[in-house]
Structures are given as C-alpha cells and as structure tokens.
Copies of this chain bind each other. A is one copy, B any other.
Amino acid sequence: MYSKNVEDVFKSKSIKTGDIIKVKAAVGSFEGMLMPRSELGDGDIIVLKLDNGYNIGIRFGEGASIEKIRDGPMPAAASMPSGSSHNPNLPKVALIYTGGTIGSKIDYATGGVYMLTKPEELMAEVPELAGIANIEIRHLMSMASEDMGSAEWKAIAAEVFKAASEGARGIVVTIGTDTMHYASAALSFMLKDLRIPVILTGAQRSSDRGSSDAFTNLICAVQLAAKSEIGEVGICMHANSSDNYCSFIRGTKARKMHTSSRDAFRPINSKPLARVYPEGNIEYYSQYRKVADIGDAKPILGFEDKVALIKTHPNLDPNVLDYYVNEGYKGIILEGTGLGHVPTFTSDPKRSWLEHVKNAISKGVVVGMTSQCIYGRVNTNVYRTLRLLSAAGVVYCEDMTPETAYVKLGFLLANYPGKAGEMLNKNMVGEINEKTEIDWLV
C-alpha cells in the first residue's frame, strides 16, 4: 500500500496504475509506467517501468514531485491472473512457481529482499506473456533454491508431469538460481521419457532492480515452452551481459559459473541447445530430442539421499570416505583433480586414498570420479595412478559435471538397484558426450 502522502498526490492528479507519469526526486527525474504496488515494503516508494524495460523504485521524499504525462491502459495485471484473456489461438503453457529471486522484490526501506507470496504479482509486470501463450500459474512452493533438495525435485517433477497430462504444450518452472543446475539435472533424469519442453528459469537480480534479468528470462522461457521443438529439460537464462537474448542449456550440462552476473549460467562441455530471443526467434545449435506426445511416459521419482559429493584437495584426509561408508552411504562422487586424480602414492599410506576407495567399493558403495577442473573429461588412460583407481572399480564419469554425476548417482541407486555402477558412465539423457563436442567453451 502507498503511504498517505503518495496516495494523496495520486488522487489529486487522477493517477492510476498503468499511467505514464514523471517523478522528480532527490535521485533524479524519471518517466515511466506506474507499476502495481506490492503489499509489502515502503509505502513511499513509487515503482516505474522505464522505456528500456527496467523497473525502478523511487522514494517520494521531501521536495519530490509527480506529474501525469498521459493515461495508460489498465495493465494486464488486473485481468491476466483471472484467465479472462484466454486466446484460443495460443498454446497452453503451465508456469510452476517455486520461489527464488525471480519471485522476490527488494524492500526499498531496508535494502533486503523478500519473497512474493503471489506469483500473479510477477506475471502482472510482464504483459507480453499474454501474447505468447495462455499461461496457467501453478503455485507449488515459495523456497530459496539453496534450501531445495530431492524432496522438492520430486514435487516439481510430479507437478510438471501433472501439468503435461492436463494439456500443457510446455512447462516453465521458475526457481532460485543457486541450485538450479542440480534441479535441472534431477528433472532431466526423473522426466527422461517426457518429450515436451520443460524450461527452468529464474533471475540473478530481483524483478524490481534496474538491472533485473527476470523479465527477459521469463519471456524467453515462455517462448521456448510455447514454440520450441526441443522436448527436453533445460535452463533458459541470459546468454550475455546485455538484455537481448537467452541461452537454452541442456539440464544436465549447465552450471552456475558466477555469483552475481546475469549471464552466470554456462553450458559445460557442450554447446547451448538453442539461442532464444524475447520476440520469439529460436536458433537451434545442437542435436536435441524432438517434442512428442506424452504417450505412456511416467515420471521416475526415486532418489537415494545417501550419496555424497566429495571435493578432494591436497592434505585431505581419506578418512572422510570411511566416515560416509560407516554412515551407510550408498554412493560417493569424488571431485578429483585434473584428469580424475586423488592422492595415490604409496610412500605415506596415511595420505593415500587408494585403500580407502577399495574399502568403500568392497562394501558395495558406488564410487564415481569427476574433475574439479569442471571443463574437460576425466580419462583413465594417461597416467598409471588413474589406471589403479579404475582397476579398483572407480567409475570414471566422462565429461559430466560433478553436480550432474551426483544427481545421476542418487537417481540410479534408487531406481535401478544393482545397476547404478554400470549405468553411471553410460549416456542416458545427453549428460555424457561420447566424443568431445567442443574443446573449450566458456
């Protein structure tokens, strides 16, 4: 709600949501469309959508003034969530809302970020979506992605499948970015037989920051869900630091590679599947699985939580492996160095990992090897110590990221008992390139 000060000015000048107005304040003078006010936050903050698409929050303090430029149409805000704008010529896209920064706003009073309780508030700010698809909002949860785990991945996979069964042509999942690449890998495996576009998107900066990526990401994601020929799970996020297009990255080949940049998500050991423009153009870059009918696809929702990912480093005591074995863990992904090394020298057995790895394997634990280099492929052929580990039964995970290998092992152990080891380094949904597609792409 606006403060009485602001309300009074709006009333006296007949200003309503959607009008084009000019606000002069201490920070400067801005002209744009008056956005709907969210329920929380400082009532003295006026939010404008500027011509460049960015939203800005301006404090209406002492000496500030407001001028009406012209009447606007009522924004789509009021009508869209009610579904009255249904267009029979557009496909149906389900938008599954799970929380994250894309569903958050700055509280301009404190500078903190709070999570929206109504995804409709976000939708209302992107009237363009109504021209792309009939959006069906499904509010599944409101969580930060750092708190998500296998329980949430199962819930999202089940909801995606339900939406698909109920006729959605494609699905958009809005989700926090911190663990988006873990979630996209989990959905890739859990929904491996569902051949429709399942698009994860989010924002590195909340929708009311000047530099927010929320709108472009959301619009591109809906374009993919509505039009793409790619029947796979993937991530749609900014491809570069400007605002003109997004990358669509296979769900098992993506990684968050920057804490704050809008183009943080990068394909690893792989090209993007496609480039997507907000206007709807889609350029296809890679081989992909084509969209197809749902048929008799079913989600596969098992996940073994007793799996750990251990990043090894110099001096790391191999006893931590025994700790996990003693705790009843069923699988371990090692994030080794270089081509897939852990310390294996024999001069100082206390520092060698080899016997500890053999012990874990002898107790039935599946041990997979990936590289902390992130880019490139592990390889057992170059050095003798690698052959020792491989001979001991360590599964070298080819060009999979450690994160995808972790998720895949949890998925395999729950759903293919006794076969997880042999399936771990065989391609299932595009998570392994048999040949290196590109040597180095960042």
Contacts and interface: CB of A to CB of B under 8 A. Distances in A.
A339 B381 contact: no
Given A147-B351, A344-B146, A375 B261 contact: yes
A199 to B, nearest CB: 20
24 contacts: A112-B384, A113-B383, A144-B345, A144-B385, A145-B337, A146-B342, A146-B344, A147-B343, A147-B344, A147-B345, A148-B314, A150-B314, A178-B341, A179-B337, A182-B314, A256-B338, A257-B374, A259-B338, A261-B375, A307-B315, A308-B320, A311-B335, A319-B327, A442-B442
A6 interface: no
Nearest to A335: B311
A271 to B, nearest CB: 16
Nearest to A143: B345
Interface in A234-259: 241, 256-259
Those 8 A-B pairs whose CB atoms lie nearest each other, nearest first: A259-B376, A146-B341, A178-B338, A442-B442, A178-B337, A311-B311, A147-B345, A258-B375
Contact of A259 (B313, B351, B378): B378
Q: How large is the interface on A (under 10, 10 to 19, 20 to 34, 35 or more residues)?
A: 35 or more
A379 B205 CA distance: 13
A263 interface: yes
A305 interface: yes
Interface string A358-385: 0000000000000111111111011111
Given A147-B343, A147-B351, A258 B440 contact: yes
Q: Which of A149, A307, A377, A440 has the largest count of B CB atoms less than 10 A from its CB?
A: A440
A401 B144 CA distance: 24
A89 interface: no
A111 interface: yes
**A contacts with B: majority SS:** loop
Interface of A: 111-113, 143-150, 177-179, 182-183, 241, 256-261, 263-264, 305, 307-311, 313-317, 319-320, 323, 327, 335-345, 351, 371-379, 381-385, 403, 406, 410, 439-440, 442
List the number of copies, as a whole number: 2
Contacts of A261: 375-376, 439-440
Contacts of A377: 259-260
Contact of A343 (B146, B259, B342): B146
A413 B111 CA distance: 35
A111 B313 contact: no
